[in-house]
């Protein structure tokens, strides 16, 4: 079968199409004919080697994490799905990829595709949906009436997280450029800071949570807008010792990650704020709950651009420019 792969880590990962064997199923897996694959910034970071110590791939490896498609075969222990079922899932952190004609998907990470969405729309959801759910609901314990700051509101994570936070009853602050203000307000943002005109840390106050989505010193600056007892959940680092412990990493890596996050943890403590780094995990049960929200149109995917399968590499290059409004998706069938 045809798949978009990378051959090595680093500046020259040799990303391109290759003929690879169709996956062989384990008893608890589904063979899915991929109709669409959503892209995420981490799909460019993986071949660059950013998370080489954490994410294990057998090279050459297939790229991509988000998947939507149709089940063609099921393992002997699968009980919830059958051939012909339309499903979606995140394959992140499972050592396999989605930008291919077929993918093996563990039953535990799959959910039924919402009937009101097509495959392209559905493929835009898994990573941003699960990340937003786990960051806001599990880690930040966001409740109705609280305020959450979600910077870069027009991006892939931002467009979904804003809607989910509003569904939870929270008030949302965000940043974006002038041209994207109507987009984020349309998604439900209550306080919008045009970053080309104002610095968010001088405008926003009294927040209960921050979702760290942009690099640089934005997370450090966000400490000043938080109430005591608030939480920062970072998706972009620095990695911390608690994350290393949760993944069962060795003492050296726990020490290294602790040193990496020492500054932000110290700054956060001065304001009685808790800092943590989050790697979203695949979870079919949570994805099914998100699917119900999609069915009821409580949330909706926002898609910037759709590329044909043959231009999957160009799609990754476009995403790397950092200008997408919402998600970039590769249509495979």
Local confidence band at 118 (pLDDT 50, 70, 90 cut-offs) = very high
Average pLDDT score over residue span 167-187: 97
Tokens coding 17: 């199409």
pTM: 0.95
Q: Which residue spans within 63-206 are E strands per DSSP?
A: 66-74, 86-90, 102-106, 110-112, 147-149, 171-176, 191-194
- pLDDT greater than 90 at residue 10: yes
Residues 6 or more apart in contact with residue 317 via CB below 8 angstroms: none
Return all residues near 134 (Cβ < 8 A) that are at least 6 apart: 278, 280, 281, 283, 286
Burial of 241 (0-12, 13-18, 19+ CB in 10 A): buried
Average pLDDT over residues 181-210: 96
Q: Which domains does the chain possess?
A: 2-125+301-331 (3.90.180.10), 128-277 (3.40.50.720)
Average confidence score pLDDT of the chain: 95
Predicted pLDDT at 83: 98
Characterize 194-208 residue by residue with b for buried, 16 or more Cβ atoms within 10 angstroms of its Cβ, and e for exposed: ebeeeebbeebeebb
| Contact by Cβ (8 Å): 107, 80 | yes
C-alpha–C-alpha distance, residues 218 and 267, integer Å: 13
Say if residue 76's pLDDT is above 90.
yes
Helices (H), the chain: 42-48, 119-123, 126-133, 156-167, 181-187, 218-222, 241-246, 251-260, 262-270, 284-295, 312-320
274 CB-near residues (< 8 Å, 6+ apart): 230, 231, 232, 268
Q: Is the pLDDT of residue 145 over 80?
A: yes
Please give the pLDDT value at position 214. 81
Q: Does 174 have pLDDT greater than 90?
A: yes
Paired residues of 329 in beta bridges: 38, 306
CA distance 168 to 228: 21
Q: What angle do CA 307, 312, 317 make, to 5 degrees?
A: 95
Confidence (pLDDT) at 249: 87
- pLDDT single digits (tens) 13-46: 999 999 999 999 999 999 999 999 999 999 999 9
What are the pLDDT digits (tens) for 211-260? 998 877 888 999 999 999 999 999 988 999 999 998 898 888 899 999 98
pLDDT at 192 over 90: yes
Q: What pLDDT does 218 receive? A: 87
Q: What is the pLDDT of residue 215?
A: 78
Q: What is the pLDDT of residues 295-305, one digit of tens each?
A: 999 999 999 99
What is the average pLDDT across 158-169?
98
Radius of gyration of the chain (CA): 19
Say what the pLDDT of residue 56 is: 86
pLDDT tens profile 247-294:
898 888 899 999 989 999 999 999 899 999 999 999 999 999 999 999
Tell me the two tokens of residue 222.
Answer: 């966000």
Region 186-205: what's the mean pLDDT?
Answer: 95
Q: How many CB atoms lie within 10 A of CB 248?
A: 8
CA 84/CA 92 separation, integer angstroms:
24
DSSP H helical segments within 39-145, as ranges?
A: 42-48, 119-123, 126-133
């Amino acid at each position: 079968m045809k798949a978009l792969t990378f051959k090595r880590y680093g500046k020259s990962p040799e990303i391109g199409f290759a003929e690879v064997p169709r996956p062989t199923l384990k008893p608890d897996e589904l063979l899915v004919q991929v109709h669409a694959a959503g892209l995420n910034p981490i799909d460019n970071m993986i071949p660059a080697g950013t998370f080489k110590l954490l994410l294990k791939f057998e090279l050459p490896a297939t790229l991509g994490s988000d998947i939507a498609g149709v089940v063609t075969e099921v393992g002997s222990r699968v009980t919830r799905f059958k051939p012909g079922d339309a499903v979606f899932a995140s394959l992140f952190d499972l050592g396999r990829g989605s930008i291919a004609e077929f993918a093996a998907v563990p039953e535990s990470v799959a959910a039924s595709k919402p009937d009101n969405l097509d495959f392209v729309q559905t493929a835009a959801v898994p990573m941003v949906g699960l990340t937003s759910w786990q960051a806001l609901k599990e880690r930040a314990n966001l409740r109705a009436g609280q305020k959450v700051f979600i910077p870069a509101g027009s991006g892939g994570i931002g467009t979904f997280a804003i809607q989910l936070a509003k569904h939870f009853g929270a008030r949302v602050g965000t940043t974006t450029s002038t041209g994207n203000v109507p987009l984020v307000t349309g998604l439900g943002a209550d306080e919008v800071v045009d970053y080309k005109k104002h610095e968010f840390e001088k405008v926003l106050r009294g927040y209960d949570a921050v979702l760290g989505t942009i690099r640089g010193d934005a997370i450090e600056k966000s400490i000043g807008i938080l109430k005591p007892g608030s939480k920062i959940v970072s998706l972009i680092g620095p990695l911390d010792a608690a994350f290393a412990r949760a993944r069962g990493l060795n003492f050296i890596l726990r020490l290294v990650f602790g040193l990496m996050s020492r500054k932000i943890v110290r700054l956060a403590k001065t304001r009685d704020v808790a800092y943590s780094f989050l790697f979203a995990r695949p979870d079919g049960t949570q994805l099914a709950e998100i699917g119900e929200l999609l069915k009821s149109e409580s949330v909706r995917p926002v898609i910037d651009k759709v590329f044909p399968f043959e231009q999957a590499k160009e799609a990754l290059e476009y995403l790397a420019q950092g200008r997408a409004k919402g998600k970039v998706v590769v249509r495979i069938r």
